[in-house]
Structure 1
């Protein structure tokens, strides 16, 4: 049905629920760190590498899935993503070697994320929402993903505690199947997916973006976002246990608080991004993260200080997402929004890979996470500076001859 109009409300509700499940399930993977490594006798680097690979595969495949979604519509990409997500969770539960576990958690779920999370959903939002509502709508979708993080953390911890980590993964695979009917509601009319925007080819859009200084700076800053959030998400639970907090409740509540306050942070960022320069908001977020991390390390470590840290970091967690994607849409238009967002996101995921892997690698080498905490602080300060020179004006392209 090429004449069916896809409403913004439908996109926000169904796309938001899709992101809720996709982001929510993966946000709890850090809770599986110790149960899985202790069961199999693996090092923390083995588990960390699998999740690092997940982030890298997610980032590497995102420009491709984004380009395909821009060209053919998001539905087909989402269906493939759901299938890979379910398969990856099953492989994680059945794996008995580090290689098999990395295949499920890293390769399959990594590619699945590229078809079931922000970039593809944001492409649909960008083509449906008006310019004056676009960043706000992206903030709504990001807030939905954040709520998923808050919702799924206690669910996953309860499943691990009562059913065992292996059965927990199989149950999560069943829950992931519910993303399929949500994806089916986001079928785009062909004319929206293929004809909206300036008449560029994919190659021309890519070359234009890579040659643009604003795009380069935005990409560099997004690397830092990935490093910080994935390091904390994967390694906070084992960090707390190393420091004497044997009760998993402290880490579970902390990760849940990150998800809860992320809801408010992403919505606030999306709303403010409609009225204020997004580059200034991004710079503030990055420098605020460094301040919060430094304060957490300097204060006496208690359950209360951890939960305050989690709440503050949660407010800043994915608030970069609607702002970053909003700048891309504002500068380059929405025709290839999923693809260009995917390119920038690849940088984010390279940072995510290093945050997850370096956390495990340097811990195994030094017996401490201190070095990686310091790297996270320094990178936040760098990102704050990098985002300031970004210009948010739309590109003026010459009209084709005879237009």
Structure 2
């Protein structure tokens, strides 16, 4: 429920671009920069927040993140320029999301199940984010149209505050029983171990690509569709469909993480993304093509999250999984910074999103090559975890 609310609101933010641009006069690059700052802060804080969750429990971290999330959205309702957007939607929302989304929630979930079910557990939590996208993106469109974007932010701030209640029920502190039979390891030793593993850095590079794709599409797809002369509601519907189809996709790829070699499935996802984008751009954009694109990309949307988090746990064990996955997720958010801001910059200098789409396809193909050589065998120390 917590991830459903947090990710649902976050994936709705692209719908605020056009009304904010019209009312306060900030351009797409400025709005894209605010979302880029959000993604960058979200990423940079992940390893530290993950460490807090590993040491002190996921519930406390999540409650603090939920309260800060509500504050950021509430203050965003009163902004009057680009600086306000960067401070609220950028810094406050970005920092708060570290406590209420995947790194903390998945870390808690995979500790609660045996090793053979960790991929599925991560997939279910990831699917929660897609449920939120499917449910809350259309609500955002309705709120903006019926009440205005400022009022929509206030309503969503109240919704975000309810996550504090869900955080009460979240556990996740590592226990001695989890580490039974495994040599004691400090967090410094875990970090050195990961830093010396080539596969860890390849996972970081792959997650950069994933972050670029998600931020670019969620921030700019509605505007791209509107630029093609289509009704703005089609852009909102497309984002909602991405969320709907990723409910199935996250579950399927979560199960696949427990059945097949995760690195091979990851390579397949990135190749499929490149193909879906290329086909979408090869034909004129229409309501039908936007719908089909959203459904296909949605199935692949967050499928990398359960696979990558489960692969981190498989290789290094679960004692510090939130910390290590937090570092990988930081790479994702660096990619998201360039996906959100870079696409806005490309639009400003060229008047189109063509370059952003071309880069998205190219780096997806690069990610296919990056995942294939990962050494995915559990380390000797973590083999029994």
Which residue matches 2:336? 352
Could you tell me whether the CA contact under 8 Å between 2:132 and 2:243 is conserved in 1?
Answer: yes
Judged with a 3 Å threshold, the aligned counterparts in structure 2 of structure 1 residues 189 and 375 are, in CA distance, closer, same or farther, namely closer
Which residue matches 2:163? 179
CA RMSD of aligned residues (A): 1.6
Query: Match for 1:230 among 201, 210, 215?
Result: 215
SS state of the match for residue 172, structure 1? Answer: helix
Which residue matches 2:84? 100
SS state of the match for residue 381, structure 2? Answer: coil
- Map Cα deviations across residues 262-283 of structure 1 (whole Å, 9 max, x no partner): 1011100001111100111000
Aligned residues: 382
Which residue matches 2:134? 150
Q: Distance in 1 between matches of 2:293 and 2:173?
A: 44
- Return 5+ residue gaps in structure 2 as ranges: none
Which residue matches 1:169? 153
SS state of the match for residue 175, structure 2? Answer: helix
Structure 1 segment 198-277 matched on structure 2, within 5 A: 198-245=183-230, 247-277=231-261
Q: Offset of 1:126 from its aligned partner?
A: 2.2
Q: Distance in 1 between matches of 2:153 and 2:159?
A: 10
Q: Distance in 1 between matches of 2:134 and 2:127?
A: 10
- Map Cα deviations across residues 213-262 of structure 1 (whole Å, 9 max, x no partner): 110111111100000111011001111111111x2111011011000001
Q: Distance in 2 between matches of 1:241 and 1:193?
A: 54
Could you tell me whether the CA contact under 8 Å between 1:73 and 1:193 is conserved in 2?
Answer: no
Which residue matches 2:304? 320
- Return 5+ residue gaps in structure 1 as ranges: 1-16
Which residue matches 2:120? 136
Q: Distance in 2 between matches of 1:393 and 1:125?
A: 22
Query: Match for 1:331 among 304, 307, 315?
Result: 315
Q: Offset of 1:313 from its aligned partner?
A: 0.3
Q: Distance in 1 between matches of 2:174 and 2:326?
A: 21
Q: Offset of 1:194 from its aligned partner?
A: 9.1
Judged with a 3 Å threshold, the aligned counterparts in structure 2 of structure 1 residues 65 and 255 are, in CA distance, closer, same or farther, namely same
Could you tell me whether the CA contact under 8 Å between 1:52 and 1:354 is conserved in 2?
Answer: yes
- Please tell me whether residue 125 in structure 1 is matched to residue 125 in structure 2: no
Which residue matches 1:21? 5
Judged with a 3 Å threshold, the aligned counterparts in structure 2 of structure 1 residues 354 and 177 are, in CA distance, closer, same or farther, namely same
SS state of the match for residue 199, structure 1? Answer: coil
Q: Distance in 1 between matches of 2:121 and 2:112?
A: 10
Please, what TM-score do these two structures have when normalized by structure 2?
A: 0.97
- Please tell me whether residue 375 in structure 1 is matched to residue 378 in structure 2: no
SS state of the match for residue 116, structure 1? Answer: coil
SS state of the match for residue 115, structure 1? Answer: coil
SS state of the match for residue 397, structure 1? Answer: helix
Could you tell me whether the CA contact under 8 Å between 1:32 and 1:165 is conserved in 2?
Answer: yes
- Please tell me whether residue 110 in structure 1 is matched to residue 94 in structure 2: yes
Which residue matches 1:390? 374
Q: Distance in 2 between matches of 1:223 and 1:326?
A: 17
Q: Distance in 2 between matches of 1:146 and 1:209?
A: 30
Q: Offset of 1:97 from its aligned partner?
A: 2.0
Query: Match for 1:71 among 41, 55, 58?
Result: 55
